Amino acid sequence: MKDGLFIVKNMKKERYPIDNILQMLREVDIFDISEVDTAVLEANGKLTAFKKAEKCAVTRNDLGISIQVPAISYPVIIEGRIERRPWKN
């Protein structure tokens, strides 16, 4: 596929029915072929599909939202004793 259109000549050459391609697109969460920029049938039989840029999901990075990295949890009670600084030996 290119720009949301099937390349029929290539599909006939590979003998792949449209129904199979549509199913494979649904498996990668593409339900509307107009969202596809490029799709390639790989040698192993899997389909690799890239959505058009305007159809891709927005990420936090796209919006300039920083993410807070979670801290590591430490045990505060070890063998029945309260550890005031469990991160230091």
Distant-in-sequence, close-in-space partners of 25: CB < 8 Å, separation ≥ 6: 31, 33, 36, 39, 47, 49
Q: Which pLDDT does position 26 carry in this prediction? A: 92
Structure tokens at 36: 């596809």
User: What is the mean pLDDT for each group of 10 consecutive residues in the chain (89 residues)?
Assistant: 82 83 90 90 89 85 82 76 70
Q: Which pLDDT does position 88 carry in this prediction? A: 63
Q: Which pLDDT does position 48 carry in this prediction? A: 92
Q: Which pLDDT does position 23 carry in this prediction? A: 92
Compute the 3-state secondary structure of the chain and give helix, strand, coil in percent, each to the nearest 5: 30, 20, 50
Q: Which pLDDT does position 16 carry in this prediction? A: 79
DSSP-derived letter for residue 71 is P
Please give the model's pTM, rounded to 2 decimal places.
Answer: 0.58
DSSP-derived letter for residue 72 is P
